[in-house]
Structure 1
Amino acid sequence: MAKRVILLIGTKKGTFIAESDEARQDWSLRGPFCDAWPINHVVGDAATGTIYAAGGNEWFGPSVWKSTDLGVTWTRSGNGFNYAEGEDPVKSAWSLAKSHGRLHVGVEPAGLFVSGDDGENFEHVESLRAHPSRETWVPGAGGLILHSIVPHPDDPNELWVAISTAGVFHTADGGRTFDARNKGTRAGFMPEGMQYPETGQCVHCIVMAAGRPDRLYQQNHTGMYRCDDGGEQWVSIEEGLPSEFGFPAAAHPHDADTVFFIPLNGAIEGRYVPDGKTAVWRSRDAGSTWSALRNGLPQENAFFGVLRQAMATDNLDQAGIYFGTNTGTLYGSRDEGDTWGVVAQHLPVIHSVETMVIDA
C-alpha cells in the first residue's frame, strides 16, 4: 500500500506539518497550529494517526495538544502538571514519548509525567525527582529540562530519560525507582579530577539503536558516546568528528550500527556548524568511523545551529533523514543523507522534528 510521509515540526510559534508521498520529492506545508504557542516537541502515533504536541512557557503554562485528524482540529490539556506545594511550578512541557498505551511527558523544571488516558490527564512520576542526586541538578543554558524519553520497545516497565544538567536515568520497574546511568561520560566543565561524576553530566540527546534496545547513542556537552548495555557503561565515539559539542542525534530505523550526528563548533565558540559549512555526520559502524554528508547543504556563511530534538529519520526502506535549524529552514534527504534538499524555509525557530509514516 502507498505511504504518506508526515513531518511533525515544533517551533517557537506553533506546530507545522509537512507531507509527501513515499517518493519524498514534493512537500506541502500546513500550520501554524496549537494557537502559535511555543511548541517544544511534536510526535505521532502511526498506529492511530494521533499527533501530540508539547509546549508552553512560564506565561502560558504547560500543555499537551492532541489531534486525531492529522492536524485539522486540536484539543489541549494541562491537567495534572503540578509539583508539590512549595516547589517551583512546571513552566512547560518539553518532550513526549508514546508507548505501551501510555504517554510520557518531560517538563521544565525537570520532571516526568505520564498519562494513561491518551493525554487527558497527567500524573507526576515522583520517584525521579526523589532521586538522591536531585539537590545537585542545575539548569543548563536552556534551563533544567527533561528532554529525552526513550521507552523500551518490548518491556513497558523499562525507560530511559535524560536531563540537562543531571544526566541519564533508567527505570526497570515502571517508574517506581530510577538509577543513574552515566558511567564513562565526561563532565568537561568540572574541575580536573571531578569530571566523571555519578550525576551532573550535561546530556544533550539520547536515542536508541534499531533492534538493539540496550544500545543507546548520546550527544553530550563534552563528547559523543555509545553504550551497548542500557547505559551501564558509555564509551566515547567522537574520534573523527570536528567537535565534541552538539545537540541532536538520530538513529537509523533499521540498522543498529548507523547513526547521525550534527556537531556544532563549540559551547563558547558560537554554537553553529563548524566553519559555517553544513554537514550531517554519519557512522555506519556504531561510531568507529565517520563521514561528512554535505551534498546539497550550504557550504558557506551557514551560521545556524540545530537544537537537540530537531533531527529525525523516517522508517521507509531507504530511510529519509530530516533536520531543522534555529533560523527556520527544514532540510531533508531521501537517501540516508547522501543528498539533501530544502523541505521548508522561513519558519520560526525549529525546536523539534519527528516523522510519522502512515498508509495513504
Structure 2
Amino acid sequence: MATKVLVLLGTNKGAFILESDAARRDWTTRGPFCDTWPIHHVVADPATGAIHAGGGNGWTGAAVWTSRDLGATWTHSGDGIAYGEGEPAIKSVWSLAAAHGRLYAGVEPAGLFVSDDGGETFTHVAGLRDHPSRPEWQGGGGGLILHSLVPDPDDPDSLHVGISVAGVFHTADGGRSFTARNRGTRCDFNPEDQRYPEHGQCVHSVVRAPGSGGRLYQQNHCGMYRSDDGGAGWDSIEAGLPSSFGFPVAVHPRDPQTVYLVPLNGDVDGRFMPDAKAAVWRSRDAGATWTDLRCGLPQDHAYLCVLRQALATDRLDPAGVYFGSNSGALFASADEGDNWRLIAQHLPMIMSVETLVIDD
C-alpha cells in the first residue's frame, strides 16, 4: 500500500501543498493556490479528502476555497459568511475545522459559521456572539479573531473555540449556547486583583489530545496550560520552559501525554525563539517536564517566529512534526521531533501548517 503525506500551508500569498511518501525524505512543492489571497488556514477533511482554505482581507472579501482533487482545481465561496444588518463586515476567515460532516469557519471580527454542504454555503452560529460577554471582547495584536476550532470527535454537539482577546468558549448543544471555559488561565496584563477573570484571556491556540478523556492543551499569551476536564479548569504546565509566551501547540496523534510547542522570547522582546536558537519543546508526560529538540535546527541568528496555527503533526508511526516560520521556512521531523530538516524555504509568511495522510 502506497502512502502519500501532504503538508498543507496557508501563507499571506496563497496556499501551498508539499508532498512526500511515507519515508518523508524527498518533498515536492505545489502552489501558490487560491489566487494568492492571504490564506490563514488550510485543512483537510479526512472523511472526504477535500482540502479547504480559509482567508481573505478587506480587498478580496472573506471566503473558503475548496479542492476535491488534492489541489489540482479550486472553487471558493463566501455565501452566507456575513453578519446581519447593522453588524460589522467580516474581514477574513481565520480558522477551519471539519468534523461530523460539517465544516466550521472562525472569522474576524470573531464569530462562528458552519457549512453542511462541504463549503458551498455557510450559516452563522449566532449562539457564540449572543454570549453576554461579547461587548467586552477586544482585538489582540492580530485583531479580534476566532482562531481555534476544537470539535469533539465523539460528540457532534460539542465544540470549543478560542478567541483573541476573549478566551475559550464551549458549546454542548450544537452552538445554541456557549459557556466561558477560562478558569485557571491568567491575564497578566490586567490589574493584580483581576488576573483570573471569567473571560478576556488572550488565548493563542487550543488543541485536543487524542483519546476520550477530554484533555485539552492551550498556549496562552500568559502561560501554557492543560485541562483534563474539557476546559472546565486549567492547570499551568509552563515550569521548565524558557518562556511563558508563544503561539502554537500541537499534540501527538495517538499519545495524549505528548505535546509540542514553540516558546518565543516574550511579547515585547521581538517575539522570536529565545537567544535566536531554534527549538521545538516536547513533553512526554503531559507538561510535567519538557525537553528542547534542536538537532538539525539553526542555532545561530535564528530570529524565527512560528504563528498560532503553524505547528502540526501527522498520523504516521513514528509521527511527523512540522513547523513553518514567518520568514517562509518549513522544517520537518520524521521521528517525533528528535531530528529536523529544512524541507522548504523562501516561501511567503507561513500562517498555518496542517497534514493529510492518504493510503492508496
Give the distance between the partners of 1:46 and 1:172, measured in 2 at CA: 23
CA distance in 2, matches of 1:102, 1:139: 27
Mapped to 2, the partners of 1:301 and 1:115 lie a distance apart of: 44
With normalisation by structure 1, the TM-score equals 0.99
Q: Alignment identity in percent?
A: 66
- Corresponding residue for residue 306 of structure 2: 306
Give 1:325's aligned residue: 325
Matches within 5 A, 1:213-292: 213-292=213-292
SS in 1 for 2:215: strand
Checking the alignment, whether the CA contact within 8 Å between 1:152 and 1:213 is kept in structure 2 is no
CA distance in 1 between partners of 2:175 and 2:49 (Å): 27
Q: Which amino acid aligns with 2:165?
A: T
Partner residue, 1:346: 346
Q: Which residue of 2 aligns with 1:14?
A: 14
- Indicate the residue corresponding to 2:69 in structure 1: 69
Q: 1:40: which partner in 2?
A: 40
Letter in 2 for 1:64: V
- 1:2 offset after TM fit, Å? 2.1
**Structure 1 unaligned residues grouped into runs of 5+:** none
Offset of residue 48 of structure 1: 2.1
Q: What does residue 30 of structure 1 align with?
A: 30
Whole-angstrom CA distance in 2 between matches of 1:47 and 1:213: 23
Aligned-partner residue type, residue 168 of structure 1 = V
- State the secondary structure of the residue aligned to 2:214: strand
Distance 1:338 1:252, change over 3 A: same
| SS at structure 2 position matched to 1:332 | strand
Cα distance in 2 for residues equivalent to 1:87 and 1:179: 22
Look up the SS of the partner of 1:158 in the other structure.
strand
Q: Secondary structure at the match of 2:275?
A: helix
Give secondary structure in 2 for the equivalent of 1:127. helix
For residues 100-179 of structure 1, the aligned pairs below 5 Å read 100-179=100-179
1:91 maps to what in 2?
A: 91
Q: Give the distance between the partners of 1:212 and 1:93, measured in 2 at CA.
A: 29
Name the amino acid aligned to 2:142: G
Q: Count residues in correspondence.
A: 360
Give the 3-state SS of the residue equivalent to 1:193 in structure 2.
helix
The Cα shift of 1:47 comes to: 2.9
Q: What are the ranges of 5 or more consecutive residues in structure 2 without an aligned counterpart? A: none
Deviation per CA, 1:228-282, whole angstroms, max 9, x where unpaired?
0000010000000000000000000010000001000000010000000000000
Matched residues in 2 for 1:175 and 1:45: separation? 21
Question: What RMSD over aligned residues (CA atoms) do the two structures have, in Å?
Answer: 0.6
Structure 1: which 4+ aligned runs deviate by more than 3 Å? none
CA distance in 2, matches of 1:193, 1:288: 28
**1:275 match: secondary structure:** helix
The amino acid that maps onto 2:237 is I
Q: How far off its partner does 1:213 sit?
A: 4.8
Q: For structure 1, which segment, 77-86 or 138-147, has the greater mean C-alpha deviation from structure 2 after superposition?
A: 77-86
Match of 2:356 in 1: 356
Deviations 1:158-178 (A, max 9, x none): 000000000000000000110
